[in-house]
Amino acid sequence: MTDTGLLNLSLTEVASAIRRKKLSSVEVTRACLEHAARVQPKLNCFISLEADEALKAARKADQALKRGSKVGPLHGVPLAHKDMFYRAGKISTGGSKILREYRPKVTATVVERLAAAGAIWMGGLNMAEFAANPTGHNDHWGHCRNPWNPAHMTGGSSSGSGSAVAARACYGALGSDTGGSVRLPAAACGVVGLKPTSGLISRYGILPRSWSQDTVGPLTRTVRDCARVTRVIAGADPKDPTCVAEPAADYERALAGRIKGLRIGVPVNHYYDGATDDVRKRMDESLAVFRSLGARVAEIKVPDPQEIFLLSSTVSQSEAATMHGAWIRTRPQDYSFYVRSRMEAGFHIPATAYLQAINLRAHLLDEFMREVYGKVDFLHTPVMVMPPPTIAETEPKAAGDVAGIVSRITRNTRPTNYLGLPALSVPAGFSKSGLPIAFQLMGRPFSEALIFRAAHLYQQETDWHSRMPSL
Amino acid sequence: MSDKPTSQLIRDHGRQIARLDIAEQRAGELATEVDRLNSAVLEGASRLDFNDEPARFSALLLAYRQAKIK
């Protein structure tokens, strides 16, 4: 198989080929490492590449297969992750200057689970500084670039995860999503990205952004790949008491069903405000696919997402100001103004307002469940109302520009984090200028299996996910 | 009682409470942002009940969980 053919395999396809000894983990890992090194000058998607360690792990994976050892569902598959998933004693920068040499003392539960499933760690991926911007700009490590057009933003904060997976530099990546940070780079780079229900996936050992709204999710090229990684990393974790106390479902098996008769809601308010013609057209086309699969599509008015957006911002700014307070006071020059300005208001929000915003979550979730998920099974919306803008267009010139840029990009993603609900970003085609466009499917708490099924059926009818950027 | 936060309030709060020195122009921008966020909370707060507590949110997520699919 040519390197291009090999790199273009999906995660589950390559896992199967390694397991059946059609490909070795060493040849797959070597191909990814070489391709990653080739695209890095153009995309800047990696912060670190651990070639020697990755090849050593791949050799061990191949030996284990030769011995006939029992192997996991990601055996020998090279993955790379947003540079904020801790491994004890290894540098984890968080995309920041402050943590440039930071070696955490603990290992993230999701990292342990991926390793136990046999995955190979290729390196740390670029990300927004402290996971705090939705565009992929990074003043310390350099901006990450979109494989479909390097002048355009990747989306963030899991910028390297979206860019590297789309570029075929790895078969999947972990990201984190506090206000859209998995779904935005997935959408902008044309890959699949999951923001799970709060409590489904452990957050132990990850760099925090907003304790109440942080989630961990995979970015992959297919829904099936995403389902597999989610199964591996989800489920109870005594080290993260916010995790639900039961094992992960078999999401891959659930892909086999149908969605006939299920109801898809299309919001008539908020989610299409300012949408470009390109985006509207792709949304209509994707809804037509769901109709052809037997789903019923209906318009629905949803509780004011702008109110939810502001409450979510109140929570994240207050929590970020709390965790960054000591460094903001002692070394403010080590933050970019983009990131500093994303938490400054948090220092001036009264504690009572923060706690009211926290207590309002249950009320707004209750309202949303009754008014939306009492009537439909999914919500279908654009992830962004425009194709990914250029890096220059989204570069703030002053601190006062930041709030406007952030709210323009995250207006459709942030409300879901406050409500704790699951959402999956799925490629839906391209703009006239060849940039990816995506929809998100949102559902009830812990409805990931149903969301994966619907999105998987959509991918069986379309080929957007198999398009490859020319690099 | 509809006075909005001013840049002077933000500067004083920064210096006296948060130990932060904030430039005049930035203080003005922050005053607008704090007002926007704080007003959203105060307007939503009419929904709150004396017995509310933060853990209710997680309990509600579980209560509303998707039934097992076939």
Given this model, what pLDDT does residue B67 score? 75
pLDDT one-digit tens code per residue, A272-287: 999 999 999 999 999 9
Q: Confirm whether B52 is domain-assigned.
A: no
With contacts defined as CB-CB under 8 Å, which chain B residues touch A359?
48, 52-54, 56
> A284 exposed, middle or buried (CB, 10 Å; 0-12, 13-18, 19+)?
exposed
Q: Confirm whether B10 is domain-assigned.
A: yes
Q: How far off is chain B from A135, nearest CA to CA, in Å?
A: 20
With contacts defined as CB-CB under 8 Å, which chain B residues touch A344?
22, 26, 30
Q: Decide if A76 contacts A121 (C-beta within 8 A).
A: no
For residue A404, what pLDDT band results from cuts at 50, 70 and 90?
confident
pLDDT one-digit tens code per residue, A119-144: 999 999 999 999 999 999 999 999 99
Q: How far off is chain A from B5, nearest CA to CA, in Å?
A: 10
- Assigned token pair, A353: 């307002």
Given this model, what pLDDT does residue A193 score? 98
ipTM of the complex: 0.96
Contact B52 A361 (CB under 8 A): no
Angle at A346 between CA A305 and CA B38, to 5 degrees: 50
> A386 exposed, middle or buried (CB, 10 Å; 0-12, 13-18, 19+)?
middle
> Rounded to whole angstroms, how far apart are CA atoms A446 and A443?
8
**A80: number of Cβ within 10 Å:** 31
Q: Confirm whether B57 is domain-assigned.
A: no
Q: Confirm whether B63 is domain-assigned.
A: no
For residue A169, what pLDDT band results from cuts at 50, 70 and 90?
very high
Catalytic member of A25, A92, A96, A157 = A157
**A253: number of Cβ within 10 Å:** 11
A82 a catalytic residue: yes
Domains of chain A by residue range:
3-466
Domain total in chain B: 1
Q: Confirm whether B65 is domain-assigned.
A: no
Query: B68 pLDDT exceeds 80?
Result: no
A189 three-state secondary structure: helix
Query: B39 pLDDT exceeds 90?
Result: yes
Q: Confirm whether B17 is domain-assigned.
A: yes
A313 a catalytic residue: no
> Rounded to whole angstroms, how far apart are CA atoms A284 and A34?
39
List the domain range (segments joined by +) for residue B23. 1-47
Given this model, what pLDDT does residue B2 score? 57
Query: A260 pLDDT exceeds 90?
Result: yes
Contact A365 B34 (CB under 8 A): no
Q: Please tell me which residue of chain A has the smallest CA distance to B31.
A: A345
Query: A319 pLDDT exceeds 70?
Result: yes
pLDDT one-digit tens code per residue, A14-44: 999 999 999 999 999 999 999 999 999 999 9
Instruction: Provide CB contacts within 8 A for A117, sequence distance 6+.
Output: A72, A73, A74, A75, A232
With contacts defined as CB-CB under 8 Å, which chain A residues touch B13?
347-348
Q: Decide if A173 contacts A219 (C-beta within 8 A).
A: yes
Contact A365 B52 (CB under 8 A): no
CA distances from A263 to A231, A272, A415 (A): 25, 19, 21
Per DSSP, what are the bridge partners of residue A234? A201
Catalytic member of A10, A24, A25, A82 = A82
pLDDT one-digit tens code per residue, A327-376: 999 999 999 988 998 899 999 999 999 999 999 999 999 999 999 999 99
Superfamily holding A3-466: Amidase signature (AS) domain (3.90.1300.10)
Instruction: Provide CB contacts within 8 A for A421, sequence distance 6+.
Output: A197, A365, A368, A442, A443, A444, A445
Pick from A358, A359, A445: CB nearest B64: A445
Catalytic member of A181, A312, A313, A431 = A181
Highest mean pLDDT among A236-250, A314-328, A331-345, B1-15: A314-328
A125 three-state secondary structure: strand
Query: B1 pLDDT exceeds 60?
Result: no
Contact A344 B60 (CB under 8 A): no
Q: Confirm whether B64 is domain-assigned.
A: no
Mean pLDDT of A289-310: 97
Q: Confirm whether B39 is domain-assigned.
A: yes
- Assigned token pair, A233: 């990393």
First to last CA, chain A: 20
Q: What is the layout of strands, in order, in the sheet containing A263-267?
A: A46-49, A120-125, A78-82, A172-176, A216-220, A192-195, A423-430, A436-443, A378-382, A263-267, A296-300
